């Protein structure tokens, strides 16, 4: 229950984000239908960045599990907390492969820069149904072996109409049709909870993942992705759960140029 209470506070914070769209990323992506609010910046000085993969926040810029404590004291753990994909941090300084950051609760520590997306004007989005992946912003570059699955939190980094380049995990960027992106705050918030629940399942913590589902149902009833998460966890959809809508019937211009 303590975990559920803490997550409820976090979810309420997500749904009450900034009421203005995020600034354009490199080349401003056109706002997909249903564009919602951008995430609020953390209370930190310096540029902000997104965490693009689950990463540890450390006391010192080293992978060592323990570091020297105060003179004459025992070594202390180098671990502070775990930051999840999609969290926004303030970058206070960089040192080689490391960055000192401040998280949303004002915790300061070091993390690998490879786990950060340090670009200006990133837009948060998700997809409500499987979205085709393209290796390049060209219809002829469709990758039949890959899809962006519903509930994936994507970070839009570039636009080249009718395509958007999105970060899907770590350093992996792919191209999708912009019209397939959903930026409504409720669905993006549930996508963040989906990311959390999936990480818990991979760590064999299904009971905690079910608490995430309960939180999603409580705070975002009626959001399409709540039903997606319920199905993933093998739960019978509740009366308030909805299924993700069918992909829009769209015919992108055949002469779309990269």
Distance, CA of 38 to CA of 149 (rounded, Å): 22
Per-residue pLDDT, 45:
55
Residue with tokens 């949303």: 104
- Residues 6 or more apart whose CB falls under 8 angstroms from that of 148 comprise 127, 130, 131, 133, 154, 166, 168, 174, 176, 180
* Domain limit, last residue, from 117, 139, 164: 117
The reply to whether 201 and 102 lie within a common domain is no
The C-alpha torsion from 3 through 129 and 53 to 102, rounded to 10°, is -60
- Residues of the domain holding 257: 1-37+121-258
Model pTM score: 0.75
Asked if residues 79 and 56 have their Cβ atoms less than 8 Å apart, the reply is yes
The reply to whether 111 and 127 lie within a common domain is no
Domains identified in the chain, total number: 2
Ramachandran angles phi, psi of 104, nearest 5°: -65, -20
Length of the chain: 258
The reply to whether 173 and 226 lie within a common domain is yes
* Domain limit, last residue, from 70, 90, 117: 117
The reply to whether 162 and 231 lie within a common domain is yes
- Considering the domain boundaries, does residue 43 fall inside one? no
Per-residue pLDDT, 10:
52
What does the pLDDT profile of the chain (258 residues) look like in tens digits? 444 445 554 554 444 443 334 434 444 445 444 444 444 444 445 799 999 999 999 999 999 999 998 888 899 999 999 999 999 999 999 999 999 999 999 999 999 999 999 988 999 999 999 999 999 999 999 999 999 999 999 999 999 999 999 999 998 999 999 999 999 999 999 999 999 999 999 999 999 999 999 999 999 999 999 999 999 999 987 777 765 444 444 444 444 444
- Considering the domain boundaries, does residue 213 fall inside one? yes
């Amino acid at each position: 229950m303590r975990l559920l209470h803490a997550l409820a506070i976090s979810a309420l914070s997500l749904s009450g984000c900034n009421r203005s769209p995020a600034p354009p990323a490199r080349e401003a992506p056109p706002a997909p239908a249903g564009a919602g609010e951008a995430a609020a910046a953390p209370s930190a000085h310096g540029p902000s960045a997104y965490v693009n993969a689950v990463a540890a926040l450390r006391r010192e810029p080293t992978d060592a599990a323990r570091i020297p404590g105060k003179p004459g004291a025992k070594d202390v753990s180098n671990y502070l907390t775990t930051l999840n994909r999609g969290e926004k941090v303030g970058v206070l300084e960089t040192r080689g492969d490391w960055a000192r950051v401040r998280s949303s609760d004002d915790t300061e520590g070091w993390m690998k820069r490879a786990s950060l997306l340090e670009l200006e004007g990133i837009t948060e989005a998700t997809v409500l149904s499987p979205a085709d992946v393209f290796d390049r912003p060209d219809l002829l570059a469709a990758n039949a072996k890959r899809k962006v699955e519903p509930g994936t939190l994507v970070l839009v980094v570039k636009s080249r109409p009718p395509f958007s380049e999105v970060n899907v995990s770590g350093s992996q960027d792919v191209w999708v049709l912009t019209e397939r992106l959903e930026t409504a705050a409720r669905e993006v918030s549930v996508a963040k909870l989906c990311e959390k629940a999936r990480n818990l399942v991979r760590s064999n913590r299904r009971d905690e993942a079910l608490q995430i589902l309960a939180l999603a149902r409580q705070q975002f009833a009626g959001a399409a992705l709540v039903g997606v998460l319920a199905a993933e966890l093998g739960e019978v959809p509740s009366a308030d759960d909805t299924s993700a809508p069918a992909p829009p019937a769209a015919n992108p211009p055949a002469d779309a140029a990269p």
